[in-house]
């Protein structure tokens, strides 16, 4: 029965750490509540405007005339593909349809015709649903006496390549992995040093407490860069994520900013924890729900309203949003500046708090 002795000892030592126990109880509660409430009731709503860029000159007037008022009110026509993409990036529309040159003629002749549909990177589920609706609208209402299934929709990315759900998750995953790697690094960096006594060795030197924190942040950021590079290569090699020169630079910048934005919080948490295990549990309690809340796997727009507000507390939400726009729509500063500003604010505020509170948290 010695194995029970081992188990008993492990459990008893675990229970002796009050913070550890509290976080261990909190984590499943938070996770269950969050996971239970982030999904919409009855499939959710798929509202929003539809963007249309038509290369078919006679299509616009024809569609406008024949569409019902409700459907027409939801449509916004754009003069170029880029305008349509920009509208998607700015969130004005949830889906962008590109009508080919011979669309009207093909429909009139009952010839099969496909339109490209670009779903919003923030809410691809809505895009997928609405693309089906568009097929119905343009295929039956837009023109009379057409055979069913003449009009088809093809879900594409902004660059014309076929869209799949992974295109939605990859950018968020990139940010999340970068953040997670830094968080685990921080937990071991600060708490481990404290356990070993080396943190005392540093703190007894004339170096300022602020420099210690910034040094730690710098080291973790370099780790973050390395992780981000691995993520980029894996995404490009195995998942067909394509980068242009600008989007690659933006991606690297955003991944870095994502890690920066969370490091301050990480420093505060790990500095306050007395041992590595407690630090890891507390970090998991924050980072794990963050994955689900920040729209990495599931669009925020599909969550109940209250959950959407909570989602905007997490920096990962902004990082994932900006990365999605950059990677899937290949847009730049004009469309991601808000996310960047928020992430910079997170970085500055949390790092400042971490620097100021580091001494209090690490001194007895």
List interacting residues with another protein (CB under 8 A): 196-198, 200-208, 363-364
- The least CB distance from residue 188 to another protein, in Å, is 12
**Nearer of residues 36 and 197 to another protein, judged by Cβ:** 197
| Per-residue CA distances from 207 to 201, 211, 230 (Å) | 11, 7, 33
Nearest approach, Cβ of 265 to another protein (angstroms)? 24
Select 26 or 207, whichever has its Cβ closest to another protein. 207
Residue 88: both structure tokens together: 């998607």
What whole-number distance in Å separates Cα of residue 67 and Cα of residue 72? 6
Q: Which residues contact 82 (CB under 8 A, 6 or more apart)?
A: none
Q: Which is nearer to another protein, 160 or 201 (CB)?
A: 201
**Using alpha carbons only, how large is the chain's radius of gyration in Å?**
25
Of 55, 58, 56, 61, the residue nearest 75 (C-alpha): 61
Least distance (Å) between residue 209 CB and another protein: 9
Quote the least distance from Cβ 238 to another protein, whole Å.
Answer: 32
Cβ at position 362, least distance to another protein in Å:
9
What are the residues whose beta carbons fall under 8 Å from the beta carbon of 102, sequence distance 6 or more? 56, 113
Closer by beta carbon to another protein, 47 or else 201: 201
Classified as helix, coil or strand, 121 is coil
The count of other CB atoms within 10 Å of the CB of residue 10 is 10
Comparison of 159 and 200: residue with beta carbon closer to another protein = 200
Residue 201 and residue 229 in contact, taking contact as beta carbons nearer than 8 Å: no
**The dihedral sign for the CA sequence 156, 304, 292, 294:** positive
Q: How far is the CB of 359 from another protein (least distance, A)?
A: 9
In whole angstroms, what is the distance from residue 95 CA to residue 71 CA? 14
Nearest-approach distance from CB 201 to another protein, in angstroms: 3
Pick the closer one to another protein by CB: 207 or 249. 207
Query: CA-CA distance, 356 to 305, in Å (whole number)?
Result: 35
* Residue 62 vs 192, nearer CB to another protein: 192
């Amino acid at each position: 029965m010695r194995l029970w002795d081992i188990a008993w000892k492990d459990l008893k030592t675990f229970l002796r750490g009050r913070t550890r126990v509290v976080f261990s109880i909190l984590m499943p509660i938070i996770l269950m509540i969050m996971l239970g409430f982030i999904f919409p009731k009855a499939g959710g709503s798929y509202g929003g405007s539809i963007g249309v860029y038509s290369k078919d000159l006679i299509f616009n007037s024809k569609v406008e005339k024949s569409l019902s008022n409700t459907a027409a009110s939801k449509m916004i026509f754009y003069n170029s593909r880029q305008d349509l993409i920009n509208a998607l990036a700015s969130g004005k529309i949830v889906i962008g349809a590109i009508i080919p040159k011979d669309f009207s003629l093909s429909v009139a002749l009952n010839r099969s015709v496909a339109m490209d549909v670009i779903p919003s990177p923030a809410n691809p589920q809505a895009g997928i649903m609405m693309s089906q609706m568009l097929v119905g609208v343009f295929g039956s209402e837009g023109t009379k006496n057409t055979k069913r299934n003449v009009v088809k929709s093809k879900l594409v990315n902004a660059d014309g390549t076929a869209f799949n759900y992974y295109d939605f998750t990859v950018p968020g995953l990139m940010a999340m992995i970068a953040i997670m790697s830094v968080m685990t690094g921080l937990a071991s960096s600060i708490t481990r040093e404290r356990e070993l006594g080396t943190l005392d060795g540093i703190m007894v030197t004339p170096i300022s407490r602020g420099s210690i924190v910034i040094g730690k942040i710098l080291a973790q950021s370099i780790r973050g860069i390395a992780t981000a590079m691995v993520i980029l290569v894996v995404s490009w090699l195995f998942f067909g994520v394509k980068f242009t020169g600008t989007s690659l630079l933006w991606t690297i910048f955003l991944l870095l900013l994502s890690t920066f934005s969370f490091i301050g919080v990480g420093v505060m948490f790990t500095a306050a924890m007395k041992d590595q295990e407690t630090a890891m549990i507390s970090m998991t309690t924050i980072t794990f729900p963050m994955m689900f809340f920040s729209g990495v796997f599931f669009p925020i727009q599909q969550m109940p309203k209250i959950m959407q507000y909570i989602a905007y507390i997490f920096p990962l939400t902004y990082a994932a949003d900006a990365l999605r726009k950059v990677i899937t729509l290949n847009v730049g500063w004009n469309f991601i500046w808000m996310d960047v500003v928020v992430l910079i604010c997170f970085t500055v505020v949390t790092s400042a708090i971490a620097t100021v509170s580091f001494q209090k948290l690490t001194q007895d």
